[in-house]
């Protein structure tokens, strides 16, 4: 960003740079939160795939047993009655080649229907299992590609923010850094006072809220869920874990839990959701305030609750 040397217009340009930096950092938080949701889908798919592979191994054992049983029957049948052209297949190096002979299996099927059905069912089960595993593998590949894109977009936004700051004159960059530090220190001081004054009770929301307020001043880090670093849904997840409530590490999934509460009816301990699509979650602390881990470059804080968190509209509250 090229800045004019005219002092009369330098300040607004520097201020616009700060606004753009804040916007990009907020955008990064949105992309990181989208990545959280994808991470959960990936873990679920990985667990499903692992279970399917374990089941497939069991089915393979059953199929092998069925094949051996059919081979044994076929050999006994040959010794007693002869199988004509199947003799060469019987002594081939590949037993499956022998068993794949339709004529051989027809003979076995007529006299040993139960064993033949067992083999056929085992074979179908293995084929179906491998098809599902293949499908899950494709889905995993797709989700991992999506995750890479969201994380790349988040990091790109942070890189752009850093470039904007580095493009400023040294004195302007230092002034912005000091102003931001002063602003954050003021928020921290007020947040700590509020946290120290909160008493609450033994309800789930209050227990979660007390825990969240104990983290005031900790820094924002994507995908972090404590003990000293947090992102927005990591903080709410861990806070409610203290109250015995299990939540996923994703604001977009957390909104599906609990009871829906209107904006005008929120109580301390209620989860607050912002953005379309949802990209931020905080906890209402009462007195028109909320506690949150907002975005890169900021710390866990207590700030006023408004119908919009920056550019993100309030979209709902949930009581757990």
pLDDT score recorded for residue 108 = 55
In a domain, 69, yes or no: yes
Choose one of 167, 186, 210: the last residue of a domain. Answer: 167
Q: In this model, does residue 94 exceed pLDDT 90?
A: no
3-state SS assignment for residue 84: coil
Q: Is residue 151 situated within a structural domain?
A: yes
Same-domain check for residues 108 and 244: no
pLDDT at 104: 55
User: 102-119 pLDDT, tens per residue?
Assistant: 455 555 555 566 776 777
Q: What is the pLDDT of residue 72?
A: 77
Domain membership of residue 188 (yes or no) is no
Mean pLDDT for the chain overall:
86
For 78, list phi and psi in degrees, rounded to 5: -65, -45
- Residue 132: give the domain boundaries: 7-167
- Residues 39 and 159 occupy one common structural domain: yes
Neighbours of 185 (CB within 10 A): 10
Residues 40 and 129 in one domain: yes
d(CA 152, CA 63) in angstroms, rounded, equals: 45
The whole-number pLDDT of residue 80 equals 64
Same domain, 214 and 78: no
Q: Tell me which residue of 199, 251, 187, 201 sits closest to 225, measured CA to CA.
A: 251
Q: Supply the DSSP symbol for 265.
A: G
Residue with tokens 């300040």: 11
Tell whether 97 and 226 lie within a shared domain.
Answer: no
DSSP 276-290: TTT-EEEEEEETTEE
Comparing 67-76, 134-143, 171-180, 216-225, which segment has the lowest mean pLDDT? 67-76
Contact between 284 and 270 (Cβ < 8 Å)? yes
Q: What is the mean pLDDT of residues 154-177?
A: 94
Residue 21 lies in a domain: yes
Q: Is the peptide bond before 125 cis (omega within 30 degrees of 0)?
A: no
Q: Are residues 30 and 122 in the same domain?
A: yes
Average pLDDT of span 228-250: 97
Portion of the chain with pLDDT greater than 90, in percent: 69
Task: Give the pLDDT band (50/70/90) at residue 10.
Answer: very low
Residue 220 pairs with which residues in a beta bridge?
230
Q: Is residue 187 domain-resident?
A: no
One domain for residues 159 and 211: no
Lowest mean pLDDT among 87-91, 108-112, 265-269, 316-320: 87-91
CATH of the domain at 29: 1.10.287
Instruction: Indicate the pLDDT class of residue 98, thresholds 50, 70 and 90.
Output: low
* SS3 annotation, 100-160: CCHHHHHHHHHHCHHHHHHHHHHHHHHHHHHHHHHHHHHHHHHHHHHHHHHHHHHHHHHHH
Q: Name 27's Cβ contacts closer than 8 Å, sequence gap at least 6.
A: 153, 154, 157
Residue 288 forms part of a structural domain: yes
For range 180-204, the mean pLDDT: 94
What is the pTM assigned to this prediction?
0.78
Distance CA 156, CA 150 (A): 10
**Number of domains, the chain:** 2
**What is the pLDDT at residue 13?**
77
Beta carbons of 29 and 279 less than 8 angstroms apart: yes
Q: Are 49 and 136 in contact (CB under 8 A)?
A: yes
Assess whether pLDDT exceeds 50 at residue 19. Answer: yes
**Residue 1, in any domain of the structure:** no
Q: Domain boundary residue among 124, 150, 167?
A: 167
Start-to-end Cα distance in the chain: 47
Residue whose tokens read 């949150």: 292
Both tokens of residue 206? 């209050």
Question: Helices in 198-304 by DSSP H: which ranges?
Answer: 204-214, 232-241, 251-254
Q: Is the peptide bond before 243 cis (omega within 30 degrees of 0)?
A: no
Could you say which DSSP state residue 218 is in? P
What would the pLDDT profile of 76-92 be if each residue is shown by its tens digit?
Answer: 666 665 544 444 444 44
Is 119 in the same domain as 219?
no
CATH of residue 299's domain is: 3.90.1720.10
Mapped onto helix, strand or coil, the DSSP state of residue 250 is coil
Query: Do 15 and 108 share a structural domain?
Result: yes
State whether 34 and 126 are in the same domain.
yes
More confident residue, 295 or 72: 295
Q: Are residues 276 and 215 located together in one domain of the fold? A: yes
Separation of alpha carbons 202 and 158, rounded Å = 40
Is 149 found in the same domain as 39?
yes
Q: Flag whether 176 is in a domain.
A: no
Do the beta carbons of residue 247 and residue 241 sit within 8 Å?
Answer: yes
Shortest CA distance to 17 belongs to which of 179, 188, 231?
179
Band the pLDDT of 124: cuts 50, 70, 90. Answer: confident
């Amino acid at each position: 960003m090229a800045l004019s040397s005219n002092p009369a217009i330098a300040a607004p340009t520097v201020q616009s740079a700060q606004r753009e930096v804040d916007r990009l950092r907020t955008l990064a938080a949105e992309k990181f939160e989208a990545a959280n949701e994808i991470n959960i889908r990936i873990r679920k798919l990985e667990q499903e795939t692992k279970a399917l592979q374990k089941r497939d191994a069991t089915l393979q054992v059953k199929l092998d047993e069925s094949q051996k049983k059919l081979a044994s029957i076929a050999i006994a049948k040959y010794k007693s009655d002869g199988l004509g052209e199947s003799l060469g297949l019987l002594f081939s190096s590949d037993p499956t080649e022998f068993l794949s002979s339709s004529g051989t299996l027809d003979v076995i099927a007529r006299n040993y229907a139960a064993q033949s059905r067992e083999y056929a069912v085992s074979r179908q089960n293995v084929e179906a299992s491998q098809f599902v595993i293949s499908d899950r593998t494709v889905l995993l590949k797709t989700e991992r590609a999506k995750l890479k894109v969201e994380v790349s977009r988040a990091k790109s936004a942070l890189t752009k923010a850093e470039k904007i700051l580095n493009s400023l004159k040294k004195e302007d960059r230092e002034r912005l850094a000091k102003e931001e530090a002063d602003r954050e220190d003021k928020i921290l001081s007020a947040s700590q006072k509020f946290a120290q004054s909160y008493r609450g009770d033994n309800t789930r929301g209050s227990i979660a809220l007390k825990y969240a307020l104990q983290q005031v001043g900790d820094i924002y880090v994507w995908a972090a869920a404590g003990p000293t670093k947090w992102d927005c849904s990591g903080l709410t997840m861990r806070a409610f874990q203290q109250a015995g409530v299990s939540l996923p590490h994703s604001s977009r999934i957390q909104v599906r839990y609990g009871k829906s509460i209107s904006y005008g009816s929120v109580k301390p301990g209620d989860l607050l959701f912002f953005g379309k699509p949802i990209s931020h979650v905080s906890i209402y602390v009462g007195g028109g305030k909320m506690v949150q881990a907002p975005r890169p470059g900021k710390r866990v804080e207590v700030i006023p609750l408004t119908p919009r968190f920056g550019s993100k509209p309030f979209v709902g509250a949930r009581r757990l």
